[in-house]
Structure 1
């Protein structure tokens, strides 16, 4: 089945195992193919030449905790996209409905967890690349606080926004992996008296996604939380300017070559990044700092923020725009604007899968920087 879904980038004859004891003994995992694991190849689902990537310390820590690494997973080319489209290495398909996209860029990571081929997976999230495929494939996705899980030994896309994170089929597995990485014991926390802000983006999502999100907020209220709507603006160009400029810098050597090796769509985005001036880049970083101040204000009012993870169920292969309450919106924009602010700002987020019409969407649950163990503890209370 995995071949049909294009989940795997590298399946070695022998899995990697470093310890037969430890917290993660008996568990298996996969890693996205931009994470350094010697002696395995790293191709980032592209034909372009890549900078050298050393071994990732988080992966090594998981191996020493007793987990077995069974392979590397396919992704949106060089992680520059959140749909999972890949004309170079083949299109990843949704395990819940193979005529639909899986989301990306950590496509294969989400698929291998959803199909039960492994217990958990490591992926990366720069603008939604863990949360979007997690929501569309029906699994949990965790983007920790920026730099909490080391991105050493990970091929960069954007050093400002890249996060290493995890996928699992339940919150307790995310907690166990978090404990193995950081040594912090899991918590189990109550929602009683918690102030929750629901991001008011009704026009950005399909009516059924908004209804599903509202129903979830009612569940939190039944557990004792207070929920109210909030508005929050992030300039749309801020994220794109920073990420494209930094991606073009990472891949500058390949961009100098005559045969660059990137697919047409990826190359077009990288060329956009090359054209960004230092003045534009610094202005975007300044905007980001201003938005971070706005976020601090939000967290004075609320303990937790929630929002839809995706605007709709997984689009069919070949769809390039969505009909939303506000009108027709290009696919990439419709998805990115919901998830990218929280990567840009570096706060911890769990995407909880919510079933919808035999497929899956999700809700993002967010807390302030460094509240990762508490966030997972609150999510554990939801079952």
Structure 2
């Protein structure tokens, strides 16, 4: 009998879907978050609600054709609307400390990689859903440029068409690069940091002092490698992110919300109903703010080649923990996390999360590159990882 001590797996068939025998990914195994349409497999989104129909995922089909073998589907924060991993099936436990959450929404994906059950995992990222569990579970997470042809979102249960991304998690950057190269055809080579203009996202008040020390250590390492490190501001984007995501999610799940008993856990239903209550004017104003933030990010990338910042505000919270204390005070966990990760999903810029240890647990740093610079970003990640 297959064991699942961390609550990571939503579906594991008796036999995996075997990849092509002679492809560039032959010999690798992967999991898919239970938002991906897989022929003959159930799709529940870690929910007991009635979900919209989802077509088969072309990304899953492409990976199978490239030789990778799909072993199962992983649990997530219910319908991907959250960052702790809470769902109708008890949530997913952190492999470093089972009293703590794995993170979300791609928590099961991160655990399947961290425990060595697969070589890589397919996640989704609408506001941090690849990067947050990657950081908390000690693995690498990559969110490609929004709209990347190599990483289609078709055949995936949507949350927010504006912000949804697909992407991989793996134990190291090399594995991410191997998958990305097979899908995209982009050659990715290690890149030197000498002369690279690095902007440190200057938000020490948004994280704990211990997490900020991790960011400072990363900046010092890059300086030692020859990077030109400066500090750059960039604002919180939740006033644009939240109305856009909640309003779009409410449309996705309108049929369930119209029923007497939708079947969502209370927090999910509350968020979806808040989205349904937004007026067209509210959403239009949020979209205008998004455009202003995009222009601001374009200006930042006129000054720096890559941004460095924290991936999470603190180590993984314990189950039931609703608030986190950062340098500037106490905040709800959702806001504390999402304001650190949501800008890069809202604006679609490629982002690489690298885990960093902290007190026997894990946090992470994010590197953000200009749109379309996915290969360069992964190359810089390889440069930090060094030779095997």
How does 1:118-133 map onto structure 2 within 5 Å? 118-133=118-133
Q: How does 1:202-213 map to 2 (within 5 A)?
A: 202-213=204-215
Deviations 1:311-347 (A, max 9, x none): 1111111111011221111111000000001100000
> For the Cα contact (< 8 Å) 1:53–1:154, is it kept in 2?
yes
Distance in 2 (alpha carbons) for counterparts of 1:222 and 1:289 = 36
- Of 28-37 and 186-195, deviating more is 186-195
Secondary structure, counterpart of 1:301 in structure 2: coil
Deviation at 1:236, TM superposition (A): 2.4
**SS at structure 2 position matched to 1:295:** helix
For residues 231-258 of structure 1, give each alpha carbon's deviation from its aligned partner in whole angstroms, at most 9, with x where no partner exists: 1113422100000000000001111111
Partner of 1:347: 349
Aligned residues: 382
User: Is the partner of 2:302 in helix, strand or coil?
Assistant: helix
Q: Find the counterpart in structure 2 of residue 222 from structure 1.
A: 224
Deviations 1:256-313, CA, capped at 9 Å, x for gaps: 1112111111000000000011111111111101110000100000000010000111
1:155 maps to what in 2? Answer: 157
Corresponding residue for 1:6?
7
Query: Which range is displaced more, 178-187 or 112-121?
Result: 178-187
CA deviations 1:140-167 (Å, max 9, x no partner) are: 0000000211000000000000000100
Specify the alignment match of 2:244 in structure 1. Answer: 242
Task: Give yes or no for contact 1:84–1:102 (8 Å, CA) kept in 2.
Answer: yes
Give the Cα separation in 1 of the matches to 2:51 and 2:131.
Answer: 26
Q: Could you state the TM-score of these two structures normalised by the residue count of structure 1? A: 0.98
Which of 373, 376, 382 is the equivalent residue of 1:374? 376
User: What is the distance in 2 between the residues matched to 1:346 and 1:370?
Assistant: 10
Matching residue of 2:314: 312
Which whole-Å deviations, capped at 9, do the CAs of 1:178-203 have from their partners, x for residues lacking one? 01111112222111100000011101
Match of residue 146 from structure 1: 146
Q: Is 1:93–1:102's contact at 8 Å kept on the other side of the alignment?
A: yes
Contact kept? 1:234, 1:291, Cα under 8 Å: no
Change (3 A) 1:235 1:186: closer
1:325, 1:24 → 2: CA distance? 44
Match of 1:362 among 352, 361, 364: 364
Provide the rounded CA distance (Å) in 2 between the counterparts of 1:96 and 1:325.
24
Q: Secondary structure at the match of 1:347?
A: coil
For structure 1, list consecutive stretches of 5 or more residues without a partner in the other structure.
none
Counterpart residue number, 2:93: 93
Instruction: Answer whether contact 1:61 1:180 (CA < 8 A) is retained.
Output: no
| SS across alignment from 1:360 | strand
Shift of 1:2: 5.5
Is 1:204–1:324's contact at 8 Å kept on the other side of the alignment? yes
Unaligned runs of 5+ in 2: none
SS in 2 for 1:45: coil
Distance 1:110 1:5 in 2: 11
Contact 2:215 2:309 (C-alpha < 8 Å) held by counterparts: yes
Post-superposition Cα deviations, 1:71-121, rounded to whole Å, max 9, x if no partner, equal: 0000100000011122x1112000011111111000100000000000000
Counterparts of 1:52-201 in structure 2, within 5 Å, are 52-86=53-87, 88-148=88-148, 149-201=151-203
